[in-house]
Structures are given as structure tokens and as C-alpha cells.
Structure 1
Amino acid sequence: MAQERIRISSDWGEVTAELADNEAARALARLLPLTIDMSDHLRQEKTGHLPSPLPDQERQRELSSGMLGLWDSDHFVIYYRGGRVPLPGLAVLGRLTGDVSIFDRPGRVSLRIERIE
């Protein structure tokens, strides 16, 4: 089965991403399309809340630029810088295939997330 692809767009630009092959990513795909208001956190990520929780997945503490993840059951994150996060870590939802630098700016942004058919 091919990886599910999504488009993430905002006033700042547009990127695509491939979702991970796990239950949380499949649950995210079932919520689409959706709009999420995101804010900047620690100058490494954009964070926002999903309309409903996703199933938990295996977590990791190391992250890289372009990762899509789940911090809490409804806490969606896009990392535009790599690093390490504290326990319990991040459940990986996918990876951006576009230019992640569009998120590397302070402030809030509204994102539209939808499937690519």
C-alpha cells in the first residue's frame, strides 16, 4: 500500500507530507480535511490541538526537521528544527517532503491540512 500523502497550506506557503504507517496517522487521515491554529514553541516547532484525540503510538525522543508528531493525544506538532524532547517523547505521524523552512518564523499560523488524492 502506498503511503498516504497530505497537503499542509497556510498564508506562509504550502508543503506536502507522507504519513507514517501507524494507527495514529491513519486516524489523523480520517479527520481530514481540517484547519488547525498553530503557535510557535521553543523556536523549534509549531503546535496546535486537533479536534479529537488520536491513538497513542510508540514514542521517540530524538527528532529531526520536518517531522510531524503527536505530543499528547490531541496535540499536533510540526518540527522545523531537530533536537531532543523530554519523556514521554513524540509519536511520529509522518514527515514533510516540502520546504519546512516556511514554519521557521515566530507567531501563530492557521494551517489547512487535507489529503492529496
Structure 2
Amino acid sequence: MLKSLIGAAFTIGMVGTASAQQSIRITSDWGTFTADLAENEASRSLAEMLPLTIEMRDHMRQEKTGNLPSALPEAPRQRAFSEGTLGLWSAGDFVIYYADGNVPSPGIVILGQINEDVSALDRPGPVSVTIEKID
């Protein structure tokens, strides 16, 4: 009996409390998009900063990139990204990818994924985006 109670307590401790995935809205003159944030410390820290407005510029005709007001914590990185990926290049460099591709090492921290077509961002020039939580 005691062994069963210890096993049940361990299982409950491992599962913990379920947390709902955080959704955000990204608004610009070129369109509005919703995204689901990834489950990592960097994306949780980003959510704590919201709302915020970021001035973004086009980079390599595959992404919009801009500076966050402060650095986000490190999280696992990967080299591949897809259209709609929200990423973190350096600790404070926020990226929205509008094409599929790969980046050089050390890769990017995945912050989330936009749920709609992001082709409206596929144009040269800067754009201002506002990011806010969706309740």
C-alpha cells in the first residue's frame, strides 16, 4: 500500500499542473497574425514583456528581425525553421520567418509559430509590429 501511494505521489509530481499554451497577436500595417508560443523559458519571458512594439527590418529576404527591449534567457536551439516560425537569434534579436530555411550554428531559439499565412511580410523594407497576449 505504501509503495502504491509513493508511486502515485511521484506520478502526480512528474505531471504537475497543466499550463495552457499562451497565444499572442502580432499586428502591423501589413497584417495581423496569431501565434502560439513555445513551451520554454525564453518564450515565457517574452510573454512577460508584452505588450510591446518592435521596429523590424528585412533580412536576407526570408525574415523580419528586430531588437527586444531586453535579453531573453537561453533555451535549446535548432538550425531549421519554417514559414511562420518566431525565433530568437541572439539573446535580444527577435525574428519572424516568412520562408522556410536554415540558419548557421548555433541556430535559433524557437519562440513560437504563427497560425496564418505570413506571406504579407514577404516584402522589402521595415515594418513596425505590436505584440500582445491574447486572453
Give TM class, smaller chain.
Answer: over 0.9
Unaligned residue ranges in structure 2 (runs of 5+): 1-18
Q: Tell me the equivalent position of 2:82.
A: 64
Deviation of 1:99 after TM superposition, in Å, equals: 1.9
Deviation of 1:71 after TM superposition, in Å, equals: 0.1
Name the aligned partner's letter for residue 12 of structure 1. W
Say which structure is richer in helix. 2
Q: Tell me the equivalent position of 1:103.
A: 121
Pick the structure with greater CA Rg: 2
Structure 2 residue 20 is the aligned partner of structure 1 residue 2: yes
Deviation of 1:109 after TM superposition, in Å, equals: 0.2
| CA RMSD in angstroms, aligned pairs only | 0.6
Q: Tell me the equivalent position of 1:114.
A: 132
1:115 aligned counterpart, secondary structure: strand
Unaligned residue ranges in structure 1 (runs of 5+): none
Aligned residues: 117
Structure 2 residue 100 is the aligned partner of structure 1 residue 82: yes
Q: Tell me the equivalent position of 1:45.
A: 63
Q: With CA pairs under 8 Å and 6+ residues apart, which has the higher RCO, 1 or 2?
A: 1
Q: Tell me the equivalent position of 2:46.
A: 28
Q: How far apart in 1 are the matches of 2:113 and 2:25?
A: 11
Q: TM-score, normalised by structure 1?
A: 0.98
Q: Tell me the equivalent position of 2:34.
A: 16
Q: How far apart in 1 are the matches of 2:120 and 2:77?
A: 26
Aligned sequence identity (%)? 61
2:32 aligned counterpart, secondary structure: strand
Q: TM-score, normalised by structure 2?
A: 0.85
Say which structure is richer in strand. 1
1:48 aligned counterpart, secondary structure: strand
Q: Tell me the equivalent position of 1:91.
A: 109
Q: How far apart in 1 are the matches of 2:31 and 2:62?
A: 18
Deviation of 1:95 after TM superposition, in Å, equals: 0.2
Deviation of 1:114 after TM superposition, in Å, equals: 0.2
